[in-house]
Amino acid sequence: MSNVLAVLEQRDGALRKVSHEVVTGARRLADALGGEVHALVCGAGPVSGVDAAGRHGADTVITATNAAFGPYAPEGYARTIAERAQAGGYSAVVCAASAQGKDLAPRVAARLAVPLASDITDLSVDGGAVVVTRPVYAGKALLKVKVVAQPAVLSLRPNVFTAVERPKPGTVESVAATGDGGRVVVKGIKAAAAGALDVAEAPIVVSGGRGLKEPANFKLLEELAQAFGGRAAVGASRAVVDAGWRPHGDQVGQTGKTVSPSLYIAVGISGAIQHLAGMRTAKVIVAINKDKDAPIFKIADYGVVGDLFEIVPALTSEIRKLNG
Amino acid sequence: MKIAVCIKRVADSETRVKIAADGKSLDEAGVKYILNPYDEFAVEEALRRKEQAGAGDVVVIACGSGASQETIRTALAMGADRGVLLETAAVPADGLSVARALAAELKDGSYDLILFGKMAIDDYNHQVGPMTAELLGLPCVTCVAHLDLAAGKGTAEREVEGGMEEVEFPLPAVLTVDKGLNEPRYPALKGIMAAKKKPLAVKPTTLGAPGLEVLAMTPPPERKEGRIVGEGAAAIPALLKLLREEAKVL
């Protein structure tokens, strides 16, 4: 068999955008293997938006529902996916390396008694074997890995596999997932501030470091982020997170999040090697720093030297005009 | 409370990565090695739980080369009671083979809690903890940033996109922990001295054939040389023009 199982993700009964990337990656693999893409999504009930999976190249879409699954059931999902993977004799199982995928994919791989190639940024097929690229040392090096075991279980780094339209039938089939939800019970999600984007998912990230001098000054970055009209998130360097100025979830770098936005604006960040590792894959990097010799300028596409307290408000007002 | 903490020796986050002559691994010359930062949160949490319970046993377990003994001693200096090194020639890219070795060691330990860091900062795998849990048949919560334990049950919070997921689970369980769960202590001189005398069992371990074969390690693609657009707020119009017309991101 040369078919590929794509594991989609939903939240509150709606398909998440990262699922399109998963189908796109799975389609590439299936084309190289000469097989079909079967997409699987687990949930407590029907999932809206699954028809999009056909648009991105799924031959069939299976929704596996079980009321006991609640918002997310790690054990119930892992069992359902592993059983389907086994029964279908798939060549590969493709998940997202999202928060949920990072939790789920290792469980599925362990149940199938195969390794997991996680957080991959590229994939191909060579002589029938799946070959992937994955960043290590937070992106300071890339590892090319051949997956010897079958099925090849992969998780794709979000924001890397740009969703491509490749229309296929996308026949939707609904099945009842058997068994219980498992011992680990997800009660729900306490949402962050309404509309707040996660730095790992935002297309634009505005990050601040020590140069902001004190926590209250992050207001300048929040205003700049808001000026982008809901497309930007505020990130932070390790120094300011360790100092307690910003929450841990905002940290960009080797001991925080690795981000690949289309625009990364580093404000008052000197550019320690462990920070650069977390954001070097951004499409465009802008640095604003008073020290013209700061290492951040070495990897920034565009640098502005000077006082951030003068530059950032001016930039914010110009961006507001653009989006006004 | 009997708690196991699985730890890893990793290259420090400030390491400049140089690729070894084999073209497949890190050149270790001059690299400083540390206890994986996320594992420090796991060790700290184990110590706090033991202290709260008033009694217990905290065992740190590492899988790796003989040099990992030093990493285990760091955790012992923080206050863990004893260490176990599953000694292998090298740590493979395949997390499942490590999980299998750890599960075999943990299987008959009757631990109330088995802790891991949410990931190692070298391979970014996020996988050995949940894989070990599956192999042991234990419940597992990953990326725990807040934890309450009472009467054989736990509640945890883990960060997901846009919020915190609230999770309930029974004990015994495997947890992988995130930054923010606690503030790890620094080993005091007294702890460092005491750590030298604490038991550390070294068990030669053979890992199964890896299911992932490393073909090559390469440097990431170079970013093209950037430029300084200008100084101060006066540079903003030029910057915006470049972002719009050259970079096309606005």
CATH code where residue A58 lies: 3.40.50.620
Residue B227 lies in a domain: no
Chain B residues in contact with A99 (beta carbon < 8 A): 143, 158-161, 165
Q: Is residue A187 part of a domain?
A: no
Domain boundary among A128, A156, A176: A176
Q: Which of B16, B32, B119, B126 to mutate to test the interface with A (most CBs of A within 10 A)?
A: B126
Beta bridge partners of A143: A134, B217
Check whether residue A90 and residue A221 sit in a common domain.
no
Cβ(B208)–Cβ(B97) under 8 Å? yes
| Whether A134 and A249 share a structural domain | no
* Residue A286 pLDDT greater than 90, yes or no: yes
Cα–Cα distances in angstroms (integers) from residue B119 to residues A52, A192, B49, B115, B198, in the given order: 32, 23, 21, 12, 27
Query: Does B14 map to a domain?
Result: yes
pLDDT band at A194 (very low <50, low <70, confident <90, very high): low
Sign of CA dihedral A204, A209, A215, A220: negative
Q: Residues A151, A227: one domain?
A: no
- Neighbouring residues of A265: CB distance < 8 A, sequence distance ≥ 6: A204, A205, A206, A207, A224, A285, A286, A287, A288
Contact (Cβ atoms closer than 8 angstroms) between residue B86 and residue B117? no
Which residue carries 């922990």 as its tokens? B177
Give the model's pLDDT for residue A193. Answer: 66
**Percent of chain A scored above 70 by pLDDT?**
99
Distance from CA of A298 to the nearest CA of B (A): 7
Do A265 and A150 share a domain, yes or no? no
Is there a domain that residue B94 lies in?
yes
**Does B94 contact A299 at a Cβ distance shorter than 8 Å?**
no
Instruction: Supply the range of the domain harboring residue A150.
Output: 4-176
Helix-, strand-, coil-residue percentages of chain A, each rounded to 5: 35, 30, 35
B178 is a domain residue: yes
CATH of the domain at B159: 3.40.50.620
Residue A278 belongs to domain with CATH number? 3.40.50.1220
Query: Do residues A111 and A230 make contact, with C-beta atoms less than 8 angstroms apart?
Result: no
In a domain, A164, yes or no: yes
Helix axes B37-53, B68-78, angle to 10 degrees: 40
Q: Is there a single domain that holds both residue A122 and residue A78?
A: yes
Count Cβ–Cβ pairs < 8 Å, chain A vs chain B.
276
Same-domain status, A120 and A211: no
Reported as a single tens digit per residue, the pLDDT across B33-60 is 999 999 999 999 999 999 999 999 999 9
Pairwise CA distance, residues A140 & A254, whole Å: 10
A252 in a structural domain = yes
Q: Is residue A186 part of a domain?
A: no
Total structural domains in chain B? 1
| Domain annotation covers residue B7 | yes
Pair of tokens at residue B216? 């090559």
Asked if B15's CB is within 8 angstroms of A137's CB, the reply is yes
Residue B91: C-alpha distances to residues A44, A153, A286, B217 (Å): 39, 20, 38, 15
CA gyration radius, chain A: 21
Residue A184 lies in a domain: no
d(CA B116, CA A51): 39
Is the pLDDT score of B16 beyond 60?
Answer: yes
Q: Is A242 in the same domain as A167?
A: no
Which tens digits make up the pLDDT trace of A84-130? Answer: 999 999 999 999 999 999 999 999 999 999 999 999 999 999 999 99
Of A160, A176, A192, which marks where a domain is finished?
A: A176
Mark whether A27 and A111 lie in a shared domain. yes
B232 in a structural domain:
no
Q: How many domains does chain A have?
A: 2
Same domain, A235 and A164: no
Q: Which of A133, A158, A176 is a domain's end point?
A: A176
- Tell me whether 0.90 is exceeded by the ipTM: yes
Nearest to A141 among B158, B219, B228 (CB): B219
Amino acid B225: pLDDT: 82
A209 and A168 both lie in a single domain: no
DSSP letters along A60-75, please?
EEEEEE-GGGTT--HH
Tell me the helix, strand and coil percentages in chain B, rounded to 5: 30, 35, 40
Within 8 A of B94 by CB-CB distance, chain A residues are 115
Tens digits of residue pLDDT in B88-120: 998 888 999 999 999 999 999 999 999 999 999
**Which amino acid is located at B32 in the chain?**
K
pLDDT tens readout for residues B79-90: 999 999 999 998
Same domain, A126 and A208: no
Residue B140 backbone dihedrals phi, psi, to 5 degrees: -145, 135
* Ramachandran sector of residue A32 (left: φ over 0; alpha: ψ -120 to 50; beta: rest): alpha
- Judgement on whether residues A242 and A155 belong to the same structural domain of the protein: no
- Determine the structural domain holding residue B85 and report its residue range: 2-204
pTM for this prediction? 0.94
Q: Where are the extended beta strands (E) located within A237-293? A: 263-267, 284-289
